[in-house]
Amino acid sequence: MAFAIFYGHIYLTSIVANAVPVMLSGADKSLATKVWNGGLKTWQAAPYGQSPYEQPDPGGTLCRTVVVDSSVTLQEFRDLLYRIAARLGATPDVQYLKALADDMGRNCGAVEPWPVV
């Protein structure tokens, strides 16, 4: 099963920078590796696009459509981001990571399944 996330460069940079911290448990490292190898690693070259549930942006979009095709579900990825945030403490970056995970629970930040049928 695949899911897609829709974010600009600055948001994706935060996700990638925080999704591979050294303090992850073995199970979380495995999950992060599956997401990375399933498509997150192409985030810098992912095509521009936006969620099919958003109104088209007349000025064009700066969002990338990053497709993750692995055994990991969107909810499992969001849960991983929440666990990472909990381990990193109360910093602005952590609050931001939690906000992105929250946003992925709506159709604008992420869509599962992908492609939309």
Residue 92 within any structural domain of the chain: yes
Q: What is the pLDDT of residues 63-98, one digit of tens each?
A: 999 999 999 999 999 999 999 888 877 777 778 888
Cα separation values, 68 from 12, 38, 61, 73, Å: 13, 5, 20, 9
The helix/strand/coil state of 46 is coil
Residue 116 within any structural domain of the chain: no
Give the integer Cα–Cα distance in Å for 14 and 2. Answer: 21
**Number of domains composing the chain:** 1
Residue 8 within any structural domain of the chain: yes
Range of the domain at 96: 2-111
Residue 117 within any structural domain of the chain: no
State pTM to two decimals.
Answer: 0.89
The pLDDT-based confidence of 13 (bands split at 50, 70, 90) is: confident
